[in-house]
Amino acid sequence: MAPPGVRLRNARDEDLPFLRELYEHARSAELAGVPWPQDVRSRFLDDQFRLQHQHYVTHFSRADFLLLERDDRLIGRFYIDASGDDLHVIDISLLAEERGRGIGTLLLQSLMSHASRAGRGVFLNVNRFNPDAERLYRRLGFAHLTPEGVDAGSDMYLPMRWIS
């Protein structure tokens, strides 16, 4: 499932500092205009990361929490829950310098191929503040579950689904 030169492995407790850093990278565009002092921003991100991590391990206890490595360096995460009708991409995140290299595309295409062979779809949520990810998902054939033109409210994440 991993792209060439990238290795997938299970996340471990000692990976939490990297995951916190990755979380900050993923939220950078969203928080760019917030004029907080650095210590306030850091505490906010620490708390939000801790809450997200607890939510993931509590509510997706059967998920695969995979990390991506290149040259023995962590570059991203790919969290997948296969326990439902659809394969659920809980999270896919890459360090900023690793984006745009086709890694996310190859991971998702591999997952979609697996889902297709099993007669399943793929479900994910896209962050409203990540238009690049939304374009990628649309290009791969994902569609919003909220009909076009209907306001999805103030939800930060929009559900999308790919059907084989």
On whether residue 140 sits in a domain, the answer given is yes
On whether residue 2 sits in a domain, the answer given is no
Write the CATH number for 50: 3.40.630.30
Spatial distance between the Cα atoms of 26 and 18, rounded to a whole number of angstroms: 12
On whether residue 1 sits in a domain, the answer given is no
On whether residue 147 sits in a domain, the answer given is yes
Domain count, the chain: 1
pLDDT at site 83: 97
On whether residue 74 sits in a domain, the answer given is yes
Spatial distance between the Cα atoms of 127 and 141, rounded to a whole number of angstroms: 17
On whether residue 149 sits in a domain, the answer given is yes
Taken as a whole, the chain contains a residue count of: 164
pLDDT at site 151: 58
CA 34, 39, 44, 50 torsion-angle sign: positive
- Which structural domain, as residue segments, surrounds residue 55? 7-162
Helices (H) and strands (E) in the chain, counts: 4, 7
Cα–chain center distance at 127: 9
pTM of the model: 0.92
CA 33, 39, 42, 48 torsion-angle sign: negative
On whether residue 35 sits in a domain, the answer given is yes
Per-residue pLDDT of the chain (164 residues; tens, 9 = 90+): 788 899 999 999 999 999 999 999 999 888 889 999 999 999 999 999 999 999 999 999 999 999 999 999 999 999 999 999 999 999 999 999 999 999 999 999 999 999 999 999 999 999 888 899 999 999 999 999 876 555 555 578 899 999 98
pLDDT at site 117: 97
| Closest-CA residue to 57 (of 19, 110, 106, 6) | 19
Is the separation of the CB atoms in 160 and 145 below 8 Å? yes
Name 16's Cβ contacts closer than 8 Å, sequence gap at least 6: 53
Name 124's Cβ contacts closer than 8 Å, sequence gap at least 6: 88, 89, 92, 137, 142, 159, 160, 161
On whether residue 145 sits in a domain, the answer given is yes
